Structure 1
Amino acid sequence: MSKSELRKDKTCLNCRYVVENKFCPNCGQENTDTRKTFVQLFVHFFEDLTHYENSFWKTIRNLMFKPSSLTKEYLSGKRMSYLAPIRLYIFISFVTFFLFSVIPDSPSDETVKVNENQAKPMEQIIVTEADSINKAKDNLEKKKWIADMEKNGYIDKKVADTLQKTIDDKKAPTDGSDYMNFGYRSVEHLDSIQKFGKADEKLNGFEYWVNKKILMVKKGRTQKEVYDKVTESFIHNIPKALFIYMPLFAFVLWLFQDKKRWYYFDHGIFTLHYFSFLLLASLILELFNFFVGLMGNNSITNGIIYMIDTIIIVYMLYYFFPAHHRFYEQSRIKTIIKGILMFFINMIILTFILVGLFFYSFINIH
């Protein structure tokens, strides 16, 4: 429980009702001093987030190791002992995606990349440097960059001459000549065809918008830069996709269950708990791989990672069946048959959502 001191004034700050005990009998607000130190503020925030006392760890334990127990307890009316489903999902979702964004790649992976770069022959180094130099704004800036690298000893004269030659021989690039080429060199080329081209060359409104957006995204970017931008935007938008997908997942559950016994609300609570489990299991998997990866890249750590990853992934796939069986109280045969059918239906829905998410991520690159 909160350890804040009670106010001497018995008048509730929220509704002005007389408070005889700790909580206001009219609005339920705790009659404690609102001014807190930083430590008290942090503790209070954590208590609010975890719903006081040990309810947080009790919720997490049941979520991980007792499939469907949280859902059954919540729907039976026992709601004060556990985190509310929406609060639980939001908390786990926030922590999971936040840590995913800040956890760096495995140090062993970085070491391998460095070693691979050191082992490259001279021709590959030339190609790599040429690709980096091509990002410069104009040829004069590129040549100055090459001269500075030669002067500082980063490359020898042979490499510098080769890089200079690639600049002199390189033709002016166009937006539509290298990758994702749909026959248009630039936005200006597309607009000119749309305005002055023949009727059979012009695009309809949607096709014109898509092609123009592709050219605008590609402009001034290499293929790798576009890929990195799309990937970053895609990962950033996954939480939004999950919010869209969860109601559809609950709807599929509703289709396969007794409509008189189960309301859509019941399936929604089951879905919130199930997706909270999937996110938490994914976070545990990521953290485990990261910390074991700190021990180095060798056969022992790789074996441990492979074994634990396999166990967690298999458990994530298996979890739905006992949760479904215990919550809906159906035979194992029905649970397996319905589970397989729902799996394929959800795969179709998820595919459409991911394709839409990829398209949305692409067109929103700035």
Structure 2
Amino acid sequence: MSKSPLRKDKTCLNCRHVVEQKFCPNCGQENTDTRKTFHHLFIHFFEDLTHYENAFWRTIKNLLFKPAALTKEYLSGKRLSYLAPVRLYIFISFVTFLLIAIFPLHVNDNSTDTLKSENIQKQTSAITNSLKEDKDVKALLNSKSISSEDKKAIEEVLSNPQTSKKSLVQFGYKSVNQLDSIQKYGSKAEKLSDFSYWINRKIQLIKDKNTGREALDKFAESFIHNLPKVLFIIMPFFAFFLWVFHSKKRWYYFDHGIFTLHYFSFLLLIFLVIFIIGKIGVLFGGNPIVDTIVRLITIIGSIWMFYYFFPAHHRFYGETRTVSFFKSITLFFINSFFILFLLVAFAFYTFINIH
């Protein structure tokens, strides 16, 4: 609650009603001095965001340890005692992604180099010997119809072939110029489909401009930066699947939406706790006791994230345990596959937009 001094003027600045005490009896606005210091602005922002008078901590406690309790309380009309679902989600999302931006995740250099080496070895195979003996290829190399750069690229393929027709994505090309030359002048067996060529050319452009570490760091930064947008896309579909599986007469889509907001707020909050604990563990520099505690909290948190949906679904929708269990399992797999599909699509979109 604001501690700003009351205005001497008893006329409400919002509705011009006469204000006898601290709050306007007509619109409820507080009749205090509107000129604020930065300190007051910051405190007002935090109090407004968290509904500070114990509502914040009460909300967090129920969200973490009482599945579906917040949703039932909100829909029953008890709304002033807790944070509003949208405000709760925005606040947790803001804090989570702010901390991730401040303390970003980095890929280990050694693991990056190892992964790159293993991928190249797995995807590399020799071009058939017939290509070396192909008269058309030899004639092409001896002709003046192609540039010296293209000739060099083709000779590199012949002397050190690293392509395979077995996979869509291939890691054996040395440069974009080499890939373009193969696609333009190579034999029919070595040319890629239009889609495969587009993907491989994009990958090669990224490899030419970035090291493995730089590419993965850029990918992680862009992916995490835009992840809140993906979650906003996922949530309406999550609520829609709940609506499909439950009585349309008893439950409105709005009810499923509130349940979804609370559930995703819980997931982000658990992720935030695990993230903070992990960063604290790093500060202790590999202390075995701290590492054990961090691993234990991470395991418990991960299990609770997985299990939480089942009691939340049962308690909120009030169905028998058997019916609720089978519905929960079905919904869990449907939503998991849908979310995985969206995340993979988003990851692919993020990757092809790396510069």
Give TM-score scaled by structure 2 length: 0.73
Contact 1:12–1:31 (Cα < 8 Å) also in 2: yes
Corresponding position of 2:342? 353
Corresponding position of 2:214? 225
Runs of 4+ in 1 over 6 A off after TM superposition: 191-194, 201-204, 206-209
Contact 2:314–2:320 (Cα < 8 Å) also in 1: yes
Corresponding position of 1:69? 69
Contact 2:104–2:221 (Cα < 8 Å) also in 1: no
Corresponding position of 1:364? 353
Corresponding position of 1:3? 3
* 1:18, distance to aligned residue in structure 2 (A): 2.9
Q: Secondary structure at the match of 1:237?
A: helix
* 1:277, distance to aligned residue in structure 2 (A): 0.8
Corresponding position of 1:13? 13
What letter corresponds to residue 254 of structure 1 in structure 2? W
Change (3 A) 1:188 1:298: closer
Root-mean-square deviation (CA, aligned residues, Å) is: 3.7
- 5+ unaligned residues in a row in structure 2: which ranges? 111-155, 164-168
What letter corresponds to residue 89 of structure 1 in structure 2? Y
| Count of residues in correspondence between the two structures | 302
* 1:296, distance to aligned residue in structure 2 (A): 3.4
Corresponding position of 1:136? none
Change (3 A) 1:336 1:282: same
Contact 2:96–2:272 (Cα < 8 Å) also in 1: yes
Contact 1:187–1:212 (Cα < 8 Å) also in 2: no
Q: Is residue 312 of structure 1 aligned with residue 312 of structure 2?
A: no
In the TM superposition, what whole-angstrom CA distance separates every residue of 1:44-65 from its partner, at most 9, and x where no partner exists? 1111111131111111111111
Change (3 A) 1:183 1:295: closer
What letter corresponds to residue 37 of structure 2 in structure 1? T
Corresponding position of 1:129? none
Give TM-score scaled by structure 1 length: 0.71
Corresponding position of 2:24? 24
Could you tell me how far apart the structure 1 residues matched to 2:307 and 2:238 are?
A: 17
What letter corresponds to residue 312 of structure 2 in structure 1? A
Q: Is residue 258 of structure 1 aligned with residue 247 of structure 2?
A: yes
Could you tell me how far apart the structure 2 residues matched to 1:356 and 1:268 are?
A: 24
In the TM superposition, what whole-angstrom CA distance separates every residue of 1:78-117 from its partner, at most 9, and x where no partner exists? 11111110000000011011112223679xx99xx9xx9x
Contact 1:2–1:52 (Cα < 8 Å) also in 2: no
Q: Is residue 295 of structure 1 aligned with residue 271 of structure 2?
A: no
* 1:231, distance to aligned residue in structure 2 (A): 2.2
Change (3 A) 1:181 1:287: closer
Alignment of 1:34-49 (within 5 A): 34-49=34-49
In the TM superposition, what whole-angstrom CA distance separates every residue of 1:229-249 from its partner, at most 9, and x where no partner exists? 222211222111111111111
Could you tell me how far apart the structure 2 residues matched to 1:296 and 1:183 are?
A: 40
* 1:187, distance to aligned residue in structure 2 (A): 7.6
What letter corresponds to residue 19 of structure 2 in structure 1? V
Corresponding position of 2:267? 278
Corresponding position of 2:176? 186
What letter corresponds to residue 253 of structure 1 in structure 2? L
Change (3 A) 1:36 1:209: same
Could you tell me how far apart the structure 2 residues matched to 1:361 and 1:52 are?
A: 38
In the TM superposition, what whole-angstrom CA distance separates every residue of 1:153-203 from its partner, at most 9, and x where no partner exists? xxxxxxxxxxxxxxxxxxxx99xx898559895389859979xxx9xx797
Q: Secondary structure at the match of 2:223?
A: helix
Corresponding position of 2:331? 342
Identity across the alignment (%): 59
- 5+ unaligned residues in a row in structure 1: which ranges? 117-172
What letter corresponds to residue 279 of structure 2 in structure 1? F
Contact 2:206–2:354 (Cα < 8 Å) also in 1: yes
